[in-house]
């Protein structure tokens, strides 16, 4: 009954796995043409780019430190403090831009780690097949079923997570399975293609074929997967930070939310302290998702709406 092992899945609203398998090698200019005409891609990408630039250059516009205390307690946005201050007098703008930075770092690192594991497992299983596939698929399915957040909660409760990197790696290590599964399915369908058989006949090693033949043929797909992992990791990190299980030495949007909530910012009228981190997280992730669907449409002609 292998037929029911459906290869297509939907993650965060994106059709994964059906898309790229038949991807023809299109001309670059054509892709670009569709890319620029795709409203979703343009909106999503500009949102993400804007936030990224904000995260990179935002801190340069202020001489404030996110952990420094100023003599302005819970004051609304002003010339001196653009996004207002927290009740003990920290600068919300500084916290926000540094928090944004943390979000991108966590997303990128966790996304990379998860993508790397997912690719390694997915390629190996899909290319090798047989016993290797059985074992790896079993492993994937086992990790897949265990809810990431539950594992992370229990692990971070024991290990005091002291650094951003640590947190990102933990998230990456637990969130790869769906990617592995999808990549395996893709690889499966590519392995039977002529160009792969040809490469095999020419006596190339397995990993070489994967790197040189298979991966490039699903590069757009891998990119989409990475974007989803990126966005998902940001959400997970925000949840952990909000629960007080993330690092507290580094400013992050989730930590801001945690502190603003434990100080009842909203109830005491300090909306600026509460709104900034929430909007920040939502904007990054929404931007990524929209961009992802846009890219999906660009890479995959069938999804384009006439």
Partner 1 sequence: MKWYLARKLLLYLLTFVVAVTIDWAIPRLMPGDPVSGLIARLQADPTAAQEMHGYYTESFGLDEPLWRQYLNFWLGLFHGDLGPSIAYVGSRVTDLIKTAIPYTLALLVPAIVLSYIAGNRVGAMAARRKVLDNTALPVSYVLTATPYMWLALVLAYIFAFRWQVFPVSGAYDFALQPEWSWEFAKSFLYHWTLPFLTLFLVSFGGWAIGMRNLIIYELEADYANYLQDLGAPNRLVRRYAYRNAVLPQMSGLALALGAVVGGALVTEIVFGYPGVGSLIITAIQNRDYFLLQGIFLFIILGVLIANFIVDIAYVIVDPRTRTGLQGS
Partner 2 sequence: MSSRKTRRVGVVGLVASLVSLAVAASLMASGAGAGPQAAFAVPRNDTLYTSGKQWGPYTNFNPLKPDYNTGIVGLVYETLFRYDPLKDRFIPWLASNGKWSGRSKYVVTVRNGVKWSDGKPLTAADVKFTFETQKNTGAQYGTMWKTGLSRITTRGRTVTFHFRGVPNYQEWDSNRYTVPIVPRHIFRSYSARELVTGNASNTRRIVGTGPFRYGGGAGSSQTLQWTRRDGWWANAIGYRMPMRYIVDIHNTSNTASLQNFLQSRIDLSNNFFPGINRHVGRGVGTYYNRAPYMLAANTAWLVPNTTKKPLNDVNFRRALAESIDVNRIVVADYQRIVSKANPTGLLPTWSRWIDQAQVRRLGFSFSIARARSRLASNGYRDRNGDGFVEDKDGATINLRLIVPKGWSDWETAIQIIADSAKDAGIKITPAYPDFNALVEERNTGKFELVINNEKQIGNTPYTYYDYLFRMPILASQTVSNFHRFSSARTWSLAQQLNKIQSTNVAQAKRVHSAIQRVILQQLPAIPLWYNGMWAQYNTRYWSNFPTSTGNQATPSTWNGYLNMTGIDALAKLRKK
- Minimal distance, residue 5 CB to partner 1, in Å: 9
Q: Which does 54 bind (CB under 5 to 8 A by kind): partner 1, partner 2, none?
A: none
Q: Is residue 111 near partner 1 by the rule CB under 8 A?
A: no
| Number of other CB atoms surrounding residue 266 within 10 Å | 13
Q: Give Cα separations from 257 to 17, 44, 103 (angstroms).
A: 35, 24, 13
Report the residue from 60, 79, 249, 305 that binds partner 2 according to the rule CB under 8 A. Answer: 249
Site for partner 1 in 179-218 (CB under 8 A): none
Q: Is residue 261 near partner 1 by the rule CB under 8 A?
A: yes
Residue 114: which of 161, 181, 17 has the closest Cα? 181
The DSSP output letter for 288 is H
Q: Is residue 278 near partner 2 by the rule CB under 8 A?
A: no
Q: Is residue 69 near partner 2 by the rule CB under 8 A?
A: yes
Does residue 236 contact residue 174 with C-beta atoms inside 8 Å? no
Site for partner 2 in 163-222 (CB under 8 A): none
Residues 306 and 298: their CA atoms lie apart, in Å, by 13
Integer-rounded Cα radius of gyration of the chain: 22
Report the residue from 9, 87, 204, 263 that binds partner 1 according to the rule CB under 8 A. Answer: 9
| Number of other CB atoms surrounding residue 302 within 10 Å | 9
Report the residue from 30, 68, 80, 134 that binds partner 2 according to the rule CB under 8 A. Answer: 68
Give the orientation angle of helix 148-158 with respect to helix 219-242, to 10 degrees: 50
Q: For 98, phi and psi rounded to 5 degrees?
A: -70, -35
- Minimal distance, residue 74 CB to partner 2, in Å: 7
Residue 102: which residues within 8 A CB-CB, separation 6 or more? 164, 250, 251, 252, 253
Of 180 and 245, nearer to partner 2 (C-beta) is 245
Does residue 15 contact residue 299 with C-beta atoms inside 8 Å? no
Q: Which does 73 bind (CB under 5 to 8 A by kind): partner 1, partner 2, none?
A: partner 2
Q: Which does 262 bind (CB under 5 to 8 A by kind): partner 2, partner 1, none?
A: partner 2
- Minimal distance, residue 162 CB to partner 2, in Å: 9
Of 18 and 64, nearer to partner 1 (C-beta) is 18
Q: Is residue 130 near partner 1 by the rule CB under 8 A?
A: no
Report the residue from 58, 76, 77, 89 that binds partner 2 according to the rule CB under 8 A. Answer: 89
Q: Is residue 146 near partner 1 by the rule CB under 8 A?
A: yes
Does residue 205 contact residue 121 with C-beta atoms inside 8 Å? no
Q: Is residue 242 near partner 1 by the rule CB under 8 A?
A: yes
- Minimal distance, residue 60 CB to partner 2, in Å: 23
Residue 296: which of 304, 284, 287 has the closest Cα? 304
Site for partner 2 in 125-164 (CB under 8 A): 157, 160
Q: Which range, of 3-11, 28-36, 109-117, 212-220, touches partner 1 by CB under 8 A?
A: 3-11
Does residue 288 contact residue 233 with C-beta atoms inside 8 Å? no
Residues 187 and 210: their CA atoms lie apart, in Å, by 9
Q: For 103, phi and psi rounded to 5 degrees?
A: -60, -45
Residues 129 and 149: their CA atoms lie apart, in Å, by 30
Q: Is residue 231 near partner 1 by the rule CB under 8 A?
A: yes
Positions in the binding site for partner 1 (CB under 8 A): 1, 3-4, 6, 8-15, 18, 138, 141-142, 144-151, 153-155, 157-159, 178, 231, 235-236, 238-239, 242-245, 257, 261, 266-267, 274, 278, 281-290, 293, 296, 302-303, 305
């Amino acid at each position: 009954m292998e037929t029911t092992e459906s290869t297509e899945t939907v993650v965060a609203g994106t059709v994964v796995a059906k898309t790229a398998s038949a991807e023809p090698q299109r001309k670059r200019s054509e892709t670009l043409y569709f890319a620029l005409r795709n409203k979703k891609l343009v909106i999503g990408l500009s949102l993400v780019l804007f936030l990224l630039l904000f995260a990179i250059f935002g801190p340069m516009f202020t001489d404030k430190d996110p952990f420094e205390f100023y003599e302005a307690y819970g004051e609304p946005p002003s010339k001196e403090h653009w996004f207002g201050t927290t009740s003990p007098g920290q600068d919300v703008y500084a916290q926000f831009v540094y928090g944004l930075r943390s979000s991108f770092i966590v997303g990128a690192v966790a996304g990379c780690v998860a993508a790397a594991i997912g690719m390694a497992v997915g390629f190996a299983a899909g290319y090798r097949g047989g016993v290797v596939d059985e074992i790896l698929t079993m492993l994937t399915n086992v990790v897949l079923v265990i809810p990431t957040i539950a594992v992370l909660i229990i692990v971070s409760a024991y290990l005091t997570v002291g650094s951003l990197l640590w947190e990102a790696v933990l998230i990456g290590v637990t969130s790869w399975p769906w990617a592995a599964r999808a990549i395996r399915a893709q690889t499966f369908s590519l392995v039977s293609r002529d160009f792969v058989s040809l490469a095999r006949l020419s006596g190339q090693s397995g990993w070489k074929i994967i790197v040189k033949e298979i991966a490039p043929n699903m590069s757009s797909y891998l990119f989409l997967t990475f974007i989803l992992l990126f966005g998902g990791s940001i959400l997970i990190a925000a949840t952990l930070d909000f629960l007080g299980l993330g690092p507290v030495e580094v400013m992050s949007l989730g930590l801001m939310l945690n502190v603003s909530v434990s100080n009842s910012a909203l109830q005491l009228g300090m909306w600026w302290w509460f709104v900034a981190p929430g909007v920040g997280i939502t904007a990054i992730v929404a931007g990524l998702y929209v961009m992802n669907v846009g890219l999906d449409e660009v890479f995959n002609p069938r999804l384009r709406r006439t």
